[in-house]
Amino acid sequence: MAVFGAPAALEDHALRGCLAALGIQEEVTRLAAEVDRRDGVDLRLRVGLNSGQVIAGEVGSAALGYTAIGEQVGMAQRMESVAPPGAVMLSDSTARLVEGAAVLGEPQLVRVKGAEDAIPARLLPSVAARRTGVSYSTLVGREWELSTLAAMLDRSTSGRGSVVAVVGPPGIGKTRLAAEAVQLAKSLGVEVFSTFCESHATDVPFHVVARLLRATGQLTGMDDESARAQVRAQVPDADPQDLVLLDDLPGIADPDVQLPKIDPDARRRRLTALINSAQLARTEPAVFVVEDAHWIDKVSESMLAALLAVIPQTPSLVLITYRPEYHGALAHGAGAQTIALAPLSDSETSTLLTELLGPIRPLARSPGSSPGARPGTPFSPRRSSVSSQNAPCWSVSAAATPAVPMWPTSACRRRCRRPSPRASTGSAEPPNIRLPPRRSSVLASPPICWPAWRSIRLSTS
């Protein structure tokens, strides 16, 4: 069993769980060929994932070990039991957390042990190369921001390229605003190339720039040979050795051609020069979107920073989104404009809520509400409204009420016999659970923000 989202809460824990599950299947496919050859055994694995509240920590009466227990752990095993051999099955709760980032199979009803009725589940064939399928409500407010972006787009397409950063805390609407700008550009016939940074790929050199290259070269879905031909058509005058380096970046290199032996810094410089000159040669207007730059890898950051320097000489607009904690090179481009998103006003928030829920009473605000429930942050009402339909532990009022999880199930009581040192102090922790002082427990995290764990169960078929 693997647990994601505990002890450290991660906002993309569900996606990480999916990536791990797919990675395991990939490895096993490789191993299976060897096992088949050597032992004549058809080795295939099933993987199941589920998401929900659990009790996590070092629990147990014998040797303590970090683990997660509770009803939801069992559901991950149930998902594994209904997955076809070689596949990954997600429960409905996990599927909802990764839709937009993963390619999901059609919803299906499955029968699992212990449940009277069939329950929904979805297969996970792969993780999407681009973010997909997020449904948006009508944009509320942001008129000034949108008209600023429209003006910058206009200026850029007329030949005076510009760079704009949309900055704000999680859920404030950076992606939403960027999506509006993209729509606007497309409606004007301007080409748009988007990429995004991911928290789990911050240490992967070239990750973001490689993805941007795939987007700008329109290489997705092409075989490697055609992709190489396409790259050569786009930069016809490039040095052949540089082209070999460039092929390697989006993973389309010819396996029979050796990479030039140069140090990583020289490689970065040569690629930067090549990409910049390709950009300078561009005559058609374009919009480049780089989302979530707070997670960018260092090499991509330095290459993109160099690219930003030539943008004013091109008919392009570069739109970067990031959270306020980011202070890297992309936040300091000379001549770059910054749009800092403020929270929506009360009336805008209530307009958004009314659209999502129908007429409602205004939310009471509580100083003790969860950190995800910032007043004016559209994420909070959206999450609340979604969850009020689908998840019993979230409701509109949850944004204003301290989240109090259900205390231990009987299974937990059986397994956690040791009295808590804090049980007699009137602490809010459950009796009989020992929570080590420096380790966080999932129960301690507000379920409205980071519903908390992923479990992968493995078994051979």
CB neighbour list of residue 9: distance below 8 Å, 6 or more residues apart: 440, 442, 445, 449, 450, 452
Q: Tokens for 330?
A: 């992309």
Verify binding: residue 352, ligand ATP, rule CB under 6 A. yes
Instruction: List the one residue from 128, 139, 329, 331 that touches ligand ATP (CB under 6 A).
Output: 139
Q: What one-character DSSP code corresponds to residue 25?
A: H
Q: Tokens for 116?
A: 């009277």
Instruction: List the one residue from 282, 382, 413, 439 that touches ligand ATP (CB under 6 A).
Output: 382
Number of residues that bind Mg ion (CB under 5 A): 2
- Is the CB of residue 190 less than 8 Å from the CB of residue 283? no
Work out how close the CB of 175 gets to ligand ATP at its nearest, in angstroms, rounded to a whole number: 3
E runs forming strands in 314-375: 316-322, 337-340
Helix (H) / strand (E) element for 195: namely strand 191-196
Query: Nearer Cβ to Mg ion, position 17 or 171?
Result: 171
Instruction: List the one residue from 5, 48, 141, 217 that touches ligand ATP (CB under 6 A).
Output: 141
- Which of ligand ATP, Mg ion, none does residue 160 bind (CB under 5 to 8 Å by kind)? none
Amino acid at 209: V
Verify binding: residue 100, ligand ATP, rule CB under 6 A. no
- Which of ligand ATP, Mg ion, none does residue 267 bind (CB under 5 to 8 Å by kind)? none
- Is the CB of residue 429 less than 8 Å from the CB of residue 422? yes
CB neighbour list of residue 443: distance below 8 Å, 6 or more residues apart: 53, 55, 56, 405, 429, 430
Work out how close the CB of 152 gets to ligand ATP at its nearest, in angstroms, rounded to a whole number: 19
Q: What's the chain's Rg over C-alpha atoms?
A: 25
Verify binding: residue 140, ligand ATP, rule CB under 6 A. yes
Question: Is the bond preceding 375 in cis, omega lying within 30 degrees of 0?
Answer: no
**Interface characters, 176-195, with ligand ATP (x: CB under 6 A):** x-------------------
Verify binding: residue 168, ligand ATP, rule CB under 6 A. yes
> HEC states along 405-429?
CCCCCHHHHHHCCCCCCCHHHCCCC
Q: What one-character DSSP code corresponds to residue 99?
A: B
Query: Nearer Cβ to ligand ATP, position 274 or 341?
Result: 341
Q: Tokens for 138?
A: 């009508």
- Is the CB of residue 9 less than 8 Å from the CB of residue 443? no
Query: Nearer Cβ to ligand ATP, position 174 or 268?
Result: 174
- Which of Mg ion, ligand ATP, none does residue 168 bind (CB under 5 to 8 Å by kind)? ligand ATP
**Interface characters, 269-308, with ligand ATP (x: CB under 6 A):** -----------------------x----------------
Instruction: List the one residue from 25, 175, 350, 369 that touches ligand ATP (CB under 6 A).
Output: 175
Interactions with Mg ion, residue window 168-197 (CB under 5 A): 174-175
244: exposed, middle or buried (Cβ count in 10 Å: 0-12, 13-18, 19+): middle
Work out how close the CB of 119 gets to Mg ion at its nearest, in angstroms, rounded to a whole number: 31
Query: Nearer Cβ to ligand ATP, position 7 or 170?
Result: 170
Work out how close the CB of 410 gets to Mg ion at its nearest, in angstroms, rounded to a whole number: 41
Helix (H) / strand (E) element for 50: namely strand 45-52
Verify binding: residue 202, ligand ATP, rule CB under 6 A. no
Indicate the length of the chain as a whole number. 461
Amino acid at 46: R
**Region binding ligand ATP by CB under 6 A among candidate stretches 13-21, 172-180, 295-303, 400-408:** 172-180
Number of residues that bind ligand ATP (CB under 6 A): 20
**Region binding ligand ATP by CB under 6 A among candidate stretches 20-28, 42-50, 170-178, 450-458:** 170-178
- Contacts by 387-395, CB closer than 8 A, 24 or more apart: 387/448, 388/357, 390/92, 390/96, 391/93, 391/451, 393/53, 393/447, 393/451, 394/447, 394/448
Q: What does the alpha-carbon distance between residue 418 and residue 347 come to, in Å, rounded to a whole number? A: 51
Verify binding: residue 323, ligand ATP, rule CB under 6 A. yes
Q: What's the CA dihedral at 205, 303, 170, 379 to 10 degrees?
A: -100
Verify binding: residue 13, ligand ATP, rule CB under 6 A. no
**Region binding ligand ATP by CB under 6 A among candidate stretches 54-62, 171-179, 270-278, 300-308:** 171-179
Torsion region of 419: left, alpha or beta (phi above 0 gives left; psi -120 to 50 gives alpha): beta
Query: Nearer Cβ to Mg ion, position 11 or 191?
Result: 11
**Region binding ligand ATP by CB under 6 A among candidate stretches 98-106, 173-181, 204-212, 389-397:** 173-181
Query: Nearer Cβ to Mg ion, position 93 or 175?
Result: 175
Binding site for ligand ATP (CB under 6 A): 136-137, 139-142, 168, 170-176, 292, 323, 352, 378-379, 382
Q: Which residues of the shown chain bind Mg ion in the complex (CB under 5 A)?
A: 174-175
